[in-house]
Amino acid sequence: MSGAPQPQSVASSRPDPYAPKGLALTLESTGAILLALIWILPLAYAVWAAIHPAEYTTRFELTAPLTLDNFTRAWAAAPFARYFLNTFILVTMILAFQLVLGTLAAYALARQDFWGRDIAFALILAQLMIMPDALIVENYRTLAKFNLIDTIPAIALPYIASAFGIFLLRQTFKTVPKELDDAARVEGASPLQVLMKVYVPLAKPTYVAYGLVSVSYHWNNFLWPLLVTNSVESRPLTVGLQVFSSSDQGIDWAVICAATLMTSAPLLVGFLLFQRQFVQSFMRAGIK
Amino acid sequence: MTNRATATIHGWLLLLPAMACLALFTHWPAIASFVDSFMSTPRARRPARFVGLDNYQQMMADPIFWKAMANNLWFAMGTIPTSIALALLMAVWVNDRIAGRTLVRMAYFTPTILPMIAVANIWLFFFTPQYGLLEQIVGAFGGRSTNWLGSQDTALYAVTVVAIWKEAGFFMIFYLAALQAIPPSLGEAAAIEGASRWTFFRRVQFPLLMPTTLFVLINAVINAFRMIDHIFVMTRGGPDNATTLLLFYIYQVGFGFWDTTYAAALTCVLLLLLALVAFVQYGWLERRTHYQ
């Protein structure tokens, strides 16, 4: 359980005796590609429906005319600009708090030896099992007491202390050589200065990995935002999309597909551009 | 003041912001759910009062609760083994030098970063009767028309398929990382011994992947109780509660009927199930897992 294990492709330099060759490789490639086609089909279909006129939604002809009309209609039919802004504020707010709270807590757990540390760690880890989604009823009551229902902070609050983030940072901080810490203290740095000057810079890959996972998660999160928001001013994209596609749009699949793609676009484009970074981040965040 | 006391104050000060939030939004609501489950739901002019096990008795007699539990069990049994097996297969494939492996890996992983609520719209269209994509494919082969989401027999399968599609590629990357971490010398040694590829996988690779399987399994179990976003778009729990999962039922009771104390009792059942998962993980599986 090291902090930042680097998956290395050690196998590439030496020939693998079990690497399939010839017919076996062809069969394997065919199977893998077929499965990949099935896996990408929903997205491919959404792209098809979104960039063609509605009459081609279920007619697949190569000569079908292209159009951006569905996107314009979707954009005009619901306040997507506002939803984008709300989601942007939401994920930024959550990530900022998660990083600050997580860094402080992880530093205490990794490098301070104090009374009650192990109990505190166990209490924090409880959140890995009892995820906020399971506690919607009571959390709603708490936020109603604070008079925060239908605000963006209400969506963010249950998530800003993340056991997952604290755990990940703790594991990373534990790999920082103690000598660096001691050297900084000899120079007269305070504990917080040591944290900011020694630990945080060394944990940068973990911060990036955690950041990507957190932003993806909260960009896509739906249930809790649905419960605590009921106006355009606070709704994030996912809830906006749901309101949009279940309301008067009827079943205009072309427009719904366009709206679906718009909602996913920022993450999707980010993923296509930084594919390696994304996959490695999710991997790094998972292997603890 | 002693050193130890200073360290304790420093430590808890650093922990304070995170612990306060966790206490408010994790520990407190878990305890409050337990307490509230023994109370009556406050209505106008009738404040909450202690009713003992009334909510639990109501639960035992509630056919929708049992339906939701059964559905969730089937949903779990449908998603967990299938998505793990597919993830392993994907990882083995993508780990080999197959044609177009970068694109293939990308295709497998893409569902992970797409919002479930958004892709559920597309899947909804796939399953739409008459002109949906699946209907057209079945029709092209002369099959008969099925209302996949409108029929009690097929709706749960349909939402299960979507869940598998969503999480298999996510689990794949953990297997992929683990496969790449296996030293090549093991493969060379097995080859000298004359082991077949299947034997090598079964006797060497698969046992070495056990910690990964455990990690993925825990995630899959938790997801089986958490993944309900697509239910909102595709079925809203219907037809006739055929796709109502436990968390979706909690949502319906708590925010549809506003019966908050009954919802609290249901939440306790969910928490108990999650605690059971944690117990099995740390108490039993952890000891049986072979670490490298």
A286 to B229: CB separation less than 8 angstroms, yes or no: no
Domain limits of chain B?
Answer: 1-28, 62-288
Domain limits of chain A?
Answer: 81-234
**Which amino acid would we find at residue A88?**
F
Name the CATH topology of A81-234: MetI-like fold (1.10.3720)
Report how far apart, in Å, the C-alpha atoms of B204 and of each of A117, A118, B167, B188, B217 are: 39, 36, 26, 12, 20
B14 to A112: CB separation less than 8 angstroms, yes or no: yes
Of A7, A19, A271, the CB nearest to B181: A7
CB of B183 within 8 Å of a chain A CB? The answer is yes
B52: left (phi over 0), alpha (psi -120 to 50) or beta: left
Report residue B39: phi and psi, to 5°. Answer: -110, 165
Euclidean distance between CA atoms A96 and A104, whole angstroms = 13
Task: Give chain A's residues under pLDDT 50.
Answer: 1-11, 288
Q: What is the per-residue pLDDT for B292?
A: 41
Q: Which CATH superfamily is domain B62-288 in?
A: MetI-like (1.10.3720.10)
Task: Give chain B's residues under pLDDT 70.
Answer: 1-2, 283-292
Euclidean distance between CA atoms B233 and B114, whole angstroms = 15
In A, residues 102-141, which contact B (CB 8 Å cutoff)? 102, 104-105, 107-109, 112-117, 120, 123-124, 126-127, 129-141
Euclidean distance between CA atoms A145 and A1, whole angstroms = 41
Question: Helix-strand-coil percent breakdown of chain B, rounded to 5?
Answer: 75, 0, 25
Note the pLDDT tens digit of each residue in A214-270: 998 999 999 999 999 999 899 999 999 888 877 655 668 888 889 889 998 898 888
Euclidean distance between CA atoms B98 and A19, whole angstroms = 10
Q: What is the per-residue pLDDT for A8?
A: 47
Q: Name every chain A residue with its beta carbon within 8 A of the beta carbon of B274.
A: 129-130, 134
Q: Name every chain A residue with its beta carbon within 8 A of the beta carbon of B107.
A: 36-37, 39-40
Q: What is the per-residue pLDDT for B198?
A: 86
Report residue B50: phi and psi, to 5°. Answer: -70, 125
Q: What is the per-residue pLDDT for A10?
A: 46
CB of A230 within 8 Å of a chain B CB? The answer is no
